[in-house]
A and B are shown apart, each in its own frame.
Chain A
Amino acid sequence: MQWFNIVVQGVLIGGLYAMFAAGLSLIFGVMRLVNIAHGDLIVLAAYVSLMVTQGMGIDPLTSLLLVVPIMALIGYILQRALLNQTLGDNLLPPLLVTFGLSIIIQNGLLELFTADSRRLQAGALEVQAFELLQGVWIGVLPLLQFAIAVAVIAGLQMLFYRTALGRAFRATSDDQSVAQLMGLDTRHVFAMAMAFSLAVVAVAGVFLAVRTNFDPAIGPARLIFGFEAVIIGGLGSMWGTLAGGIILGVSQAIGAQIDPGWQLLAGHIVFLVILAVRPQGLFPKVSE
């Protein structure tokens, strides 16, 4: 029963990792951009939520109503003003620019908020739990976080396969110059993709900040978790990304149970094993 409990907790945290990964996967899929600043943008979203909750006296989950549009807007502007200029046949410029962006965000946050650890307080919700089975307690907040992660993944899947914007995303991903012949301004399409990516980042950042302490330096580790979940799940598959997040979460939970020092290591080892055995990931999108 103890092990069952551990797996359940791992699955629930996996939802958060899937949200870290979904935004990365989305923009890589649409514009082949690897966003090294992704983790720092998650932390930025946490600080934006901190300011909103403190400034307006609302709880973190309600703050999402503001944080999500703010981050989406930042994403749109960031893409139009900066990242579009770096895209081309060469993959190096966007890597270097987002690496620089990562450093700028970390140091900017350090200047503004110092290196102190912060936490978002979700009040009574944080400690509420119910007993699923004898000895298996589920926290309401982790469950809510997992449910929202599933909803976010399902929403992105719908966006991609059921809407005109999703059609534009896929067409632009297939062939940029022909997409332009269809009347699609690819600069705008890319900016919309980044806006959605950062909207997901906003949700992930707020849940991260409610779950655990955060400071300006924790972004890169979140980026790694996101990358690992994407690779485990297989590039280009949203549901695969959710599965990747869950596998990573469960591996970490089991590792931590064996030895607390093994939590992160266990996740990395499982990632490396999957990369070695199945480099295309567990659920790659079947390409014709």
Chain B
Amino acid sequence: MPDLLEVKAIDVFYGDFQALFGVSLGVEVGHIIAVIGANGAGKSTLLKTIAGLMHPRRGELRFRGLALTGTPAFNVVNRGIALVPEGRRLFPSLTVEENLLIGGQSRRSGPWTLARIYDLFPVLAERRHLPAPALSGGQQQMAAIGRALMANPQLLLCDEISLGLAPIVVRDIYTRLPQIAAEGLSLIIVEQDIAQALRAANHVYCLQEGRVALKGPARELTRETISAAYFGV
């Protein structure tokens, strides 16, 4: 039984276009879930729906046993779900430190403070007073993760954190995920880089054209079953 987040058969639409068809997913405390799939499979839509930026037309979401369906985004983060959006999307007119501070706006108590974020990503401490766009891509990604952690979430949603970054930077960021999960936090990571996702995750969901094509424990899935689900052959 998933005890943290339950997504039950949600249908999500952009206007008339249906992006998700009866998608279900469960997250347990302390687990890392990877959601993989081709472009346009609905991965980002799923994360946006969990974060409250989009709302399902049918189906429901429950977080820690309570209904989450229809909760607006600014309340979802107060309930303990934070999203690292695709493309980082730091606030360009704010400094690095201001970006982190605004992440802590919800004032949830927990282990994450400015000092802890700077411990996790020391390079951010050096550059705290620079405007966010002055950071390199990898540093911006660290700032975006730090900003989401500042909300002290119980569930962290990471949308394509490796996108557009050098492999060495991606490895650097991924080596810190277990450190983050060790604080009792669960993660859902959306990735195109399947190998990276399989190494980090306990559980994998593969989306294909808005439907769950495959799910299972990360170590039981073979490359063949995944590519079959991924490409729908």
A binds B: yes
Interface residues of A (CB under 8 A from B): 164, 167-168, 170-171, 173-175, 177-186, 287-288
Closest CB of chain B to A71's CB: distance in Å? 27
Asked if residues B98 and A167 are in contact (CB atoms below 8 Å), the reply is yes
Contact indicator A167/B102 (Cβ below 8 Å):
yes
Q: Are the CB atoms of B77 and A181 closer together than 8 Å?
A: yes
> Which of B82, B83, B91, B105 sits near A170, CB closer than 8 Å?
B91
What CA separation (Å) do A182 and B101 show in the bound complex?
A: 10
Number of A-B pairs, beta carbon distance below 8 Å: 69
Q: A173 with B93: in contact, given A178-B85, A181-B85 (CB under 8 Å)?
A: yes
Asked if residues A183 and B91 are in contact (CB atoms below 8 Å), the reply is no
A53 CA to B226 CA, complexed, in Å: 77
B106 closest partner in A (C-beta): A183
Indicate with 1 or 0, residue by residue over B87-102, a CB within 8 angstroms of chain A CB atoms: 0010111100010011
Tell whether, in the assembled complex, residue B51 and residue A181 are in contact, meaning their CB atoms are under 8 Å apart. yes
- The reply to whether A177 and B91 form a contact with Cβ atoms under 8 Å apart is no
Number of contacting residues on B, CB 8 A? Answer: 28
User: For residue B98, which residues in chain A have a CB less than 8 angstroms away from its CB?
Assistant: 167, 170
Given A181-B51, A182-B106, A288-B92, also A167-B74 (CB < 8 A) = no
Contacting pair B53 A168 (CB below 8 A): no
Instruction: Pull 29 A–B residue pairs with CB atoms less than 8 Å apart, ordered by A.
Output: A164-B101, A167-B94, A167-B101, A167-B102, A170-B93, A171-B102, A173-B93, A174-B92, A175-B89, A178-B89, A179-B91, A180-B52, A181-B74, A181-B77, A181-B82, A181-B85, A182-B74, A182-B103, A182-B105, A182-B106, A182-B147, A182-B151, A183-B74, A183-B75, A183-B77, A183-B78, A185-B72, A288-B92, A288-B133
Q: Is B73's CB within 8 Å of the partner chain A?
A: yes
**A contact residues around B106 at 8 Å (CB):** 182-183
1/0 contact trace for B68-86 toward A, CB 8 Å? 0000111101100011010
CA distance A185 to B73 in the complex (A): 8
User: B89 near A185 (CB under 8 angstroms)?
Assistant: no
Is B105 touching A180 in the complex (CB atoms < 8 A)?
no
Bound CA–CA A183/B103 (angstroms): 8
Complex-state Cα separation, A171 to B91, whole angstroms = 6
B30 on the interface (CB 8 Å rule)? Answer: no
Q: Is B59 an interface residue (CB 8 A)?
A: no
Q: A175-B91, A181-B82, A182-B77 are in contact. List 17 more A-B contacts (CB 8 A).
A: A170-B91, A171-B91, A171-B102, A174-B93, A178-B89, A180-B52, A181-B83, A182-B102, A183-B74, A183-B75, A183-B77, A183-B78, A183-B106, A185-B72, A185-B74, A288-B131, A288-B133
Closest A-chain residue to B84, C-beta based? Answer: A181
Residues of B contacting A178 in the complex (Cβ-Cβ under 8 angstroms)? 85, 89, 91
